[in-house]
């Protein structure tokens, strides 16, 4: 396993991190524990969760992912070995599916306090290494939204209040460090500016989508991540499983995410399908799997701190973690760029 520093902290995190959003829905507790057991034997130390997991979000399963992690931590006693990250839900009236959490979550002091206390209880720990804002309070570009339409006066809770509340958690030792997720360049800049002028907690990471089909992070945010030492925790590095190649030709294998849940269509369009086929041809020529090539591409980016994989089966998990051993040559990277130029960011 390879490791990088988490921002300006002294914490080393594995370049392959473990995403957890299927636990409690597609995976039960025993399967989740098996995944965690295996991941740590391979050197994975970053576990990333969220208060709303598993997905798709439902009142009946909300918080089950954190409960799985908490049970594993209790059984194994490995809390000190894990860099544990979770997230506080963003504004619910911008994403109606999440209204079952606190009656409609907001990013103010009260909600953030209640969220961290609930997460710590489910996780059976007294602190988090990283606590992230899952998505912005304001209406802006996230979760695949293209095009920006400014809504004057609709920003809601100011980033300043959110960061003040997060900083209080750091001061109290409930949280070691804070980060953001699904943010824009302006949002990242504002968190950084307020930390500087107000002496508040500085964000150490940003968790956004990044994969061969969704490389928008490279414009604006990549430079900020490097210059501000707040690297990317890349989520959906396989584009929701599309970059495994299993959906090529319109296939939807039984038990797959797209077969089970209608909501996961973010990476499903003709351009993304064509790009996926082109990337698979490159992988086939190199004698590697499309999945491993896709993950290796993410891991090799200088602005990436950790590539957050997710798996529902052990064979998937083993293959994904093993991608850390694959180094893409300059020639392969040039071929990837040629496909990217032909199909630039086909999935938002």
Is the confidence at residue 10, as pLDDT, over 80?
Answer: yes
In a domain, 233, yes or no: no
Tokens of 145: 């939204």
**Contacts with 258 (C-beta within 8 Å, 6 or more apart), sequence order:** 240, 241, 247, 252, 264, 265, 268
In a domain, 80, yes or no: yes
At 264 the pLDDT is 55
Distance between CA atoms of 46 and 48, rounded to whole angstroms? Answer: 6
Domain match, 22 and 151 both: yes
Mean pLDDT confidence for 300-317: 97
Domain match, 162 and 47 both: yes
Could you count the other beta carbons within 10 Å of the beta carbon of residue 228? Answer: 19
The tens digit of pLDDT for each residue in 334-344 reads 999 999 999 99
In a domain, 221, yes or no: no
Q: Is 279 a catalytic residue?
A: no
Domain match, 288 and 347 both: yes
Domain match, 201 and 263 both: no
Domain match, 31 and 166 both: yes
pLDDT above 70 as % of the chain: 93
Match 């089909």 to its residue by tokens: 213
Mean pLDDT confidence for 297-320: 97
Residue positions counted in the chain: 348
Distance between CA atoms of 38 and 34, rounded to whole angstroms? Answer: 6
pTM of the predicted model, to two decimals?
0.94
Domain match, 266 and 323 both: yes
Choosing from 191, 207, 223, the residue where a domain stops is 207
Distance between CA atoms of 138 and 180, rounded to whole angstroms? Answer: 14
Could you count the other beta carbons within 10 Å of the beta carbon of residue 311? Answer: 24
Could you count the other beta carbons within 10 Å of the beta carbon of residue 73? Answer: 20
In a domain, 217, yes or no: no
In a domain, 308, yes or no: no
Is the confidence at residue 261, as pLDDT, over 60?
Answer: no
Tokens of 308: 């957050």
Identify the CATH number of the domain in which residue 103 sits: 3.20.20.100
Confidence band of 92 (pLDDT split at 50, 70, 90): confident
Find out whether 7 and 229 touch, Cβ atoms under 8 Å.
yes
Which one from 38, 53, 191, 247 is the annotated catalytic residue?
Answer: 53
Choosing from 207, 228, 260, the residue where a domain stops is 207
Could you count the other beta carbons within 10 Å of the beta carbon of residue 331? Answer: 10
At 266 the pLDDT is 65
Domain match, 248 and 191 both: no
At 154 the pLDDT is 83
At 245 the pLDDT is 86
The tens digit of pLDDT for each residue in 96-154 reads 667 889 988 999 999 999 999 999 999 999 999 999 999 999 989 888 888 898 988 88
Alpha helix segments (H runs only) across 42-108: 64-76
Structural domain range at position 291: 239-303+314-348
In a domain, 230, yes or no: no
The tens digit of pLDDT for each residue in 207-248 reads 999 999 999 999 999 999 999 999 999 999 999 999 998 778
Could you count the other beta carbons within 10 Å of the beta carbon of residue 144? Answer: 13
Half-sphere CA count of 225, side-chain side, radius 13 A: 27
Distance between CA atoms of 167 and 200, rounded to whole angstroms? Answer: 6
In a domain, 264, yes or no: yes
Find out whether 129 and 169 touch, Cβ atoms under 8 Å.
no
Is the confidence at residue 262, as pLDDT, over 70?
Answer: no
Tokens of 271: 């351009």
The tens digit of pLDDT for each residue in 55-87 reads 998 999 999 999 999 999 999 999 999 999 999
For the chain, state the CA radius of gyration: 19
Average pLDDT value over all residues in the chain: 93
In a domain, 332, yes or no: yes
Domain match, 297 and 339 both: yes
Tokens of 186: 């302006």
Domain match, 143 and 279 both: no
Domain match, 118 and 193 both: yes
**Contacts with 185 (C-beta within 8 Å, 6 or more apart), sequence order:** 220, 221, 224
Q: Is 154 left (phi over 0), alpha (psi -120 to 50) or beta?
A: alpha
Question: Helix, strand, coil shares of the chain as percentages rounded to 5?
Answer: 45, 15, 40
Confidence band of 93 (pLDDT split at 50, 70, 90): confident
Distance between CA atoms of 222 and 135, rounded to whole angstroms? Answer: 18
Domain match, 74 and 149 both: yes
Domains identified in the chain, total number: 2
Distance between CA atoms of 177 and 224, rounded to whole angstroms? Answer: 18
Domain match, 143 and 187 both: yes
């Amino acid at each position: 396993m390879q490791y990088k520093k988490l921002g300006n902290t002294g914490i080393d995190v594995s370049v392959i991190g473990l995403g957890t959003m299927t636990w409690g829905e597609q995976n039960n507790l025993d399967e989740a524990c098996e995944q965690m057991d295996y991941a740590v034997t391979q050197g994975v130390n970053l576990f990333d969760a969220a208060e709303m997991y598993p997905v798709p979000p439902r009142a009946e399963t909300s918080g089950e992912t954190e409960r799985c992690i908490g049970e594993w931590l209790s059984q194994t006693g490995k809390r000190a070995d894990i860099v544990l990250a979770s997230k506080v839900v963003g504004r619910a009236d911008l994403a109606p599916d999440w209204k079952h959490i606190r009656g409609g979550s907001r990013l103010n002091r009260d909600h953030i306090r209640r969220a961290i206390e609930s997460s710590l209880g489910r996780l059976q720990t007294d602190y988090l290494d990283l606590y992230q804002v899952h998505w912005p309070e304001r209406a802006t570009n996230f979760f695949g939204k293209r095009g920006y339409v400014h809504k004057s006066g609709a920003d809601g809770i100011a980033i300043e209040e959110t960061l003040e509340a997060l900083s209080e958690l750091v001061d109290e030792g409930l949280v070691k460090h804070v980060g953001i997720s699904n943010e824009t360049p302006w949002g990242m800049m504002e968190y950084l500016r307020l930390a500087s002028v107000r002496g508040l907690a500085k964000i150490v990471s940003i968790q956004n989508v990044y994969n061969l089909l969704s490389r928008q992070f490279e414009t604006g945010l990549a430079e900020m991540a490097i210059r501000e030492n707040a690297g990317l925790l890349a989520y959906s590095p396989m584009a929701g499983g599309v970059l495994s190649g299993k959906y090529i030709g319109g296939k939807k294998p039984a038990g797959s995410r797209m077969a089970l849940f209608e909501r996961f269509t973010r990476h499903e369009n003709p351009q993304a399908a064509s790009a996926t086929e082109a990337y698979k041809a490159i992988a086939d020529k190199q004698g590697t799997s499309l999945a491993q090539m896709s993950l290796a591409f993410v891991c090799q980016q200088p602005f990436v701190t950790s590539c957050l994989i997710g798996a529902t089966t052990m064979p998937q998990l083993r293959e994904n973690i093993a991608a850390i051993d694959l180094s893409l040559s300059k020639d392969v990277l040039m071929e990837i760029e040629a496909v990217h130029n032909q199909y630039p960011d086909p999935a938002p």
